[in-house]
Each structure stands twice: as structure tokens, then as C-alpha cells.
A and B are shown apart, each in its own frame.
Chain A
Amino acid sequence: MSNIKYILGSFGDPDEMMHGIEKLQENNIKIHDVYTPMPIHGIEAKLGVKRSRLDILAFFCGITGTVSAFALIYLTSVVDWRHNIGGKPAFALPDFIPIMFEVTILFCAFGLVGSYYASTHLFPGRAPRVMDLRATDDRFIIAVDAQENGDHSKIDGLLKEAGAIEVKHNERKYISYE
């Protein structure tokens, strides 16, 4: 075995890259991942990335916010210490709604974004795991694991045929570590 770890097909056009994915899949070559400078619609179906469940999570975070806000207001101004404001009732539900709404949004947004960062391993100072520096600029990169897929020249050929501008053989997985 050579010490090549990953084969990268670098495309200048998203449609050609999609074509490249099809070509590789027709030949039963497993794709490690795809790196693009912008979201590509329809790619997740091709690569079998499952539908995100973040929306369900966001809903439950929101509900938690609603309940927490209600609990806070009820326990403080109805149970713990009633204010007498012009003889009006302490349990004034319509007055509670603005804060319940705001806290719903707050919990929903923070729960959602927090789980997104956690599930995709994004956090401040994380070492970027980048295979090709132009993947965030103008190149669409298909990465194939070279150890799992033996026939390198065939992969090269398929990528070139689909329109890859260049094909790289990387001996390190991530080039971004200094």
C-alpha cells in the first residue's frame, strides 16, 4: 500500500461535482465527504445524510422556555409575594404572555444553535479540519478514502472525466495542522 491517505477531486463547478459524485457511486466507490464553499441543494440525498432533527429539538427547547417563564412569574408574583397594584388580581395571565413569548424564543434560539454547534463540532478555537484550503473559496472538493478504495487510477480517471480541474493525492488527512 502506498501512504496516500485521501484522494481529492477538486471541481470548479457544483454541477460537475454532483456529476462526479454520481460517477463514483456508480462504480461503488465510497465517498468520505464533500467540502463546498456554499450549500449545495440535493447533495444530502445523494450522500445519504439523514434529515436533521434540530427542528424537533428547537420545538422542545421553546416549550421549555414557555414553561420556565410561566413558572418564574407565577412563583414570584402569585405565590411568593403578591403585589397589590390598584387592587388588580395577582394572577393576571394576559400580562404574563409577553415575557413567556420572549423566553420561548430565547430558549429556542440558544438550544437550537447550541445543539447545532455541538453536533457539528463547532466551538471557538477548534482546529479546523480542512483537506483543501480552496474548499472555502472557489473549489468543490470530493474526498475519497485512499486506504479503503484501492484502485487509485480508476478514481482519478472518473473524477477527471466528470470535470475535475485537479486531482490531489494527500498523504495527510488534514493539511490545516501546522
Chain B
Amino acid sequence: MSGHNESILREPLITGNDITYAKITDDILMPVENKPNRAWWIGFIVSLMGATLWLVAVSYTFWNGIGSWGLNKTVGWAWDITGFVWWVGIGHAGTLISAVLLLFRQNWRNSINRSAEAMTIFAVICAATYVVSHMGRPWLAYWVLPLPNQFGSLWVNFNSPLVWDMFAISTYFSVSLLFWYTGLLPDIATIRDRATGLRRRIYSIFSFGWNGNVKTWQRFETVSLILAGISTPLVLSVHTIVSMDFATSVIPGWHTTIFPPYFVAGAIFSGFAMVLTLLLVARKVLGLENYITMFHIESMNKIIILTGSIVGVAYITEFFIAWYSGSEYEAYAFINRSTGPYWWAYWMMMTCNVISPQLLWFKKIRLSIPATWILSIVVNIGMWFERFVIIVTSLHRDYLPSSWAMFYPTWVDVSVFVGSIGVFFTLFLLFLRVLPSIAIAEVKLLLKTSSEQAKLAQIKEGHLDKTHVKEYVESLEKFDSVKQEEYAKI
């Protein structure tokens, strides 16, 4: 362990000079072991109001049917599927952080994976509620399952991407939940062993009897690695299949082979934006600046530039191919998108997803917390519009001009969407209160190799290349949680 010192050129993943194993536990469990503060209550009450609105709107939909939405016979999918794809996309960052970054041995994932995975699970719950409520008769939702039945032994159509999607989303949700919960076991055991009375009993049940012996830990690491290995192709397949819901149809604007990679990049893009939206606030309110550092924020911003640029290239390619294919319907769909009655939605999407993330090339913006936070919200608005543009503009003008129509949302459409955000935040805020928002055990692993204090000790030993030390000290300037004056003399 301490035999291998990490290169001094790498930026620290834990800052602060008085961090011990005990302090890591105390810091991370602070919100779990204490009464919530006023900020939490305000956030929780507002989210709960949103969740109530969702309950009212969804119940209204169930009672009165899909007719309560603004759909018409031309635009048969609108805010419902927009919301579904938006939420599934947001979920993707959690799996990317926990699985793909684990395979690539990116240690900075250790302090953000837990809350990102929680976000995945809550986002997929929101997405799943859309699927169920857009069915019209949700009590017949089990018809999507291949069950023996009395309709003349008619089975589901296995050639349909909608059936593939059912398998993909349910696999994704349950595997993400397993991965997340298995990772939580050691941390629940930590809470259990520090608690007393009823609290201890409750956490004891949920800790599955974890005691942290050698064999359990060794198997734990094997299981994590295999789960990461299978979750990586899984997460790519999920949004690929979501995109096939559109790509396998014959609607101009949907029928494109570029959809799978373009949707996956967009999903990671919006997911990282949502992680930033949540964590920039959580780090401040919960006082976790030493664990979620400026390095983490900058790294996530870099991923946002990359995926945002991929999305931009995809938009342009799509447009080019619409013209180059020589298909007049395809070309019309795209001209109509950018200059037709929904031009404002198209340009909103272009501005938020392609132009504004490019601002992150500037180091000043990338390292500014308010700018990053605002950009992360802008990206999420842009990604919502992307799905809206793809779905509504492709449908609203079909082959017969007599059936051309516009889509106008009703109060139910708006309430289901706003309410689903309330549901998401309610679940997330509850998560912050009852479970550790950072993987305690995984952060402890970094203490002896990648922390600021370990690197400072290395510098003080004095066997390091002077230019490397200089470079390292310069890289610390961006950290808001590092006491710069300590490095003035080095």
C-alpha cells in the first residue's frame, strides 16, 4: 500500500491536512447522524409539493385517460416520451461513473459514485412512471410481458423495439439497484456500529450482517469488478434500444442510423450535467468540499465538453445526411425543424447543447462553481428540448397537409413533468438523510495514496523532482479547499 507512492503530478483527490479514517467517517455521516438543517427542510418541502402535484396529475390521467394530455391524432407522442427519454438519459451518468470509470481505474470516481448511482435509480424510477402512465390503461401494464394468456395464446411481438425497451429498462433498473446496494453494505454497517437502540436494529437489518472480514472484502471487489464489466455494455445498450424506438420507424427525422451513438452521448452529457447540478449544492450544504474537490468538478466539466461536442457533431451530421440522402421527406423534416413553427425549440436545443457547453473550454468558467452550476442546468434544459424537437417536430407534419397540427400541452402534461422533478428531488433528499452520500470505504482507500496530506509528506521527504513539485503546487491553485499559504514556502 504505502509501498507505492502515487506520482506527485496527479492532483489530490482528498484535500485537507487533518484527515484521518475517523474524520472521513464523521464528515460523511454528518447529515445521516444529525438532525437536518433548515436548507434541507426547505428543499424537502418544496420537492414534496412537487411530488404531490405529480400524484394529482398522474391520478387525473389514470381516471380520465390520455385525453387529458394535449395529444392529438397527428402528435401522438409528446411530453410523455420526451420526459421518459430525458429521465433515462439522466440516469446514464451514474452507471458511467460507477462502472466505466471503475474499469478505467479512475480513482476520482470513488467520491462521486454513490450519489450518482442514487441519481440513476431515482431517474429511472421517474422514467418508468412515464412509461406506465402513457399506456392509457396502466392496470393492463403486464401485457408487455410475455405471459401465457387467454387471447388465443398470442405472445408479445419480440420484433418490436418497445418490447426490447421493456427488457432493457427493467434489467437496467434492477442491475443498477443491485450494484448500488451491494456497494452500500459496508457503509450501512458503519452506520449500524455507531448507532444505538432502534436505529441500530434498523440499520442492522439493512446491513445484511456485514462485518468486513477478509473473505467478504475480497469477494466484494471481485463482484464489483464483474458488475462494472457487465454494466458497461448494459448502459450503452439501454439508450441504444431507447433510440431504436424511433430509429426503426419510418417517420422522417426518426429513421436514422446515427441515433444509437448520438443518444448514448446525449445521455451521458445530460447525466453528468445533472450530477453537477446536485453535487455542487450537496458539497456546499453538507460540507463535503474536501472529498468532492475542484478536480472532480473540472473532470466532469471536461466530460461535458466531450459529450456535448459529440452531440453537436451528431446534429450537424443528421442535417447533412437529410440533404445528402436525396430523400425529400427527410430533407423537409429537417428544414421544418429549424425554420418551421417549432424553430424556437430547435434553436433552444442548439444553443443549450452545442454552443453554451463550449464555454467550458475556458479554464475560468470550468473552475467557477456558479458558472458550472448554471451551465449544468442549461444543458439539462437543452437536452429536454432535444427530445421534444425529435419527437414533436417529426410528428406534427406528416405526409398529408390536411392532418398537420401543433401540440399544445395541458396543465396535466406540465404537472406530470414538473411533478416528476419533485419526485426525483424528494427521493434524493431522503437518500441524503438516511444513507451516506459518499462511499465511505472507497474514499478511505484513497487516504494514504492520493490525499493532499500524503503528497505533502512526500514533498517534505524531499526526494522528488523540483519541477514536478512546482507543477503540482501550481495545480493546487484551483482548489477552493486547499490552504494556499502552506505551499507559499515550498
Q: For the complex, is B2 an interface residue (Cβ under 8 Å from A)? A: yes
Query: Measured between C-beta atoms, what is the minimum distance from B173 to chain A in Å?
Result: 10
Roughly how many angstroms separate A85 CA and B156 CA in the complex, as a whole number? 13
In the complex, are the beta carbons of A119 and B219 less than 8 A apart? Answer: yes
Q: Are A14 and B448 also in contact (CB < 8 A) when A77-B155, A122-B208 are?
A: yes
Binary per-residue interface labels of chain A (69-90) against chain B in the complex, 1 for a CB within 8 Å, 0 otherwise: 0001100110011010100100
Contact, CB under 8 Å: B20 / A138: yes
**Could you say which residues of chain A place their CB within 8 Å of the CB of B190?**
37, 136-137
A126-B209, A128-B207, A136-B193 known; A102+B168 contact, CB < 8 A: yes
**Cβ-defined contact, A15 with B1, below 8 A:** yes
Check A92 against B159 for contact (C-beta < 8 Å): yes
Q: Does A67 interact with chain B (Cβ within 8 Å)? A: no
- Chain A residues within 8 Å of B237, by CB: 98, 101-102
Beyond A76-B146, A122-B209, is A103–B219 a contact (Cβ under 8 Å)? no
Which B residue sits closest to A127, measured CB to CB?
B209
Q: Complex: how many Å from CA A124 to CA B207?
A: 7
Known contacts A52-B219, A95-B159: A81-B154 contact under CB 8 Å: yes
Q: Which of A41, A62, A137 contacts B193 (CB 8 A)?
A: A137
In the docked arrangement, what's the CA distance between A33 and B215, Å?
Answer: 9
Q: How big is chain B's contact interface, by range?
A: 35 or more
A102 to B163, CA, bound (A): 12
Check A138–B25 contact: CB distance below 8 A: yes
- Chain A-chain B contacts (Cβ-Cβ < 8 Å), number: 201
Selected interface stretch from B220-228, B349-357, B478-486: B220-228
Compute how far the CA of A99 lies from the CA of B164 in the bound complex, rounded to whole angstroms.
6
Decide if B219 touches A33 in the complex (CB within 8 Å): no
In the complex, which residues of chain B have a beta carbon less than 8 angstroms from the beta carbon of A44? 214-215, 218
Give Cα A131 to B226, complex, Å.
30
Q: How far is the CA of A105 from the CA of B241 in the complex (A)?
A: 15
Residues of A with C-beta under 8 A to B215: 44, 49, 120
* A167 within 8 Å of B (CB atoms): no
Tell me if A112 is interfacial: C-beta within 8 Å of chain B.
Answer: yes
- From A82, which residue of chain B is reached at the shortest CB distance? B155
* A136 contacts B1, C-beta separation under 8 Å: no
| 14 CB < 8 A contacts A-B | A15-B448, A35-B213, A44-B215, A52-B222, A80-B153, A81-B155, A85-B159, A105-B175, A120-B216, A124-B205, A128-B192, A133-B193, A135-B211, A136-B211
Q: With contacts A109-B227, A122-B209 known, what are 6 further pairs, Cβ within 8 A?
A: A37-B190, A58-B230, A105-B175, A120-B219, A125-B205, A136-B212
